[in-house]
Amino acid sequence: MATQNNTDDFQMIINAALDYAYGVASKDWDRIKRAFDVPKAQMKLITGTPKDEKVYVMAIVDVWEKIWSPLPLSPNHIVEFLNISIQEGRLANVTMKNNGVFLDYLSLYKVGGKWKIYDKLARSLDGANIPEEKLISLFGQQE
């Protein structure tokens, strides 16, 4: 049985993940900043096929400016939570499908009573991707 603190933490973690997803969908930087530990938070985007994968490492501020803010509004955005786990009352992981386009792994921590996303690892689901040329032009060549 979950204690009240665990239930509250669980809801705050869900809220942080939703602030991220719907902040991007509605182009609301303030909502995204509520979700992430800005400016420390990073996104790691896995691109390519298993034979030629690359991982782009980007600050969330750069992701907002170069990828998310130019996107069109997404009024019918869908988030599917696959897993949420809390460890030691201060660390959490969220796995979710984001609008049927990306599989996101969010790592959160609790500081000062607030849950913040500090790391996002993402890969495209079948048929979705950001062209490699665009990523290189925005963030430079990555290993």
Q: For the segment 71-80, what is each residue's pLDDT rounded down to a tens digit?
A: 889 889 999 9
pLDDT at 48: 76
For 54-65, how does the pLDDT look when each residue is reduced to its tens digit (9 = 90+)? 888 999 999 999
- State residue 5's pLDDT score: 61
Tokens read off for 14: 């869900």
Secondary structure (3-state) at 50: coil
Confidence label for 129 from pLDDT (cuts 50, 70 and 90): low
**Over the stretch 81-110, which tens digit does the pLDDT of each residue have?**
999 999 999 999 999 999 888 999 999 999
Dmax of the chain from CA atoms? Answer: 50
Torsion of CA 26, 27, 30, 33, to 10 degrees: 100
Residue 1 has pLDDT above 50, yes or no: no
Cis status, amide bond into 39, omega within 30 of 0: yes
The mean of the pLDDT values for the chain is 88
Pair of tokens at residue 68 = 């998310």
Domains (range + CATH), the chain? 4-139 (3.10.450.50)
* Global pTM value: 0.87
CB-count exposure of residue 7 (10 Å: 0-12, 13-18, 19+): exposed
Residue whose C-alpha is closest to residue 21's, from 85, 71, 87: 71
Question: Residue 114's pLDDT is what?
Answer: 95
Q: How do 91-98 and 42-47 pair as beta strands?
A: unpaired
Confidence band (pLDDT; 50, 70, 90) for 41? very high
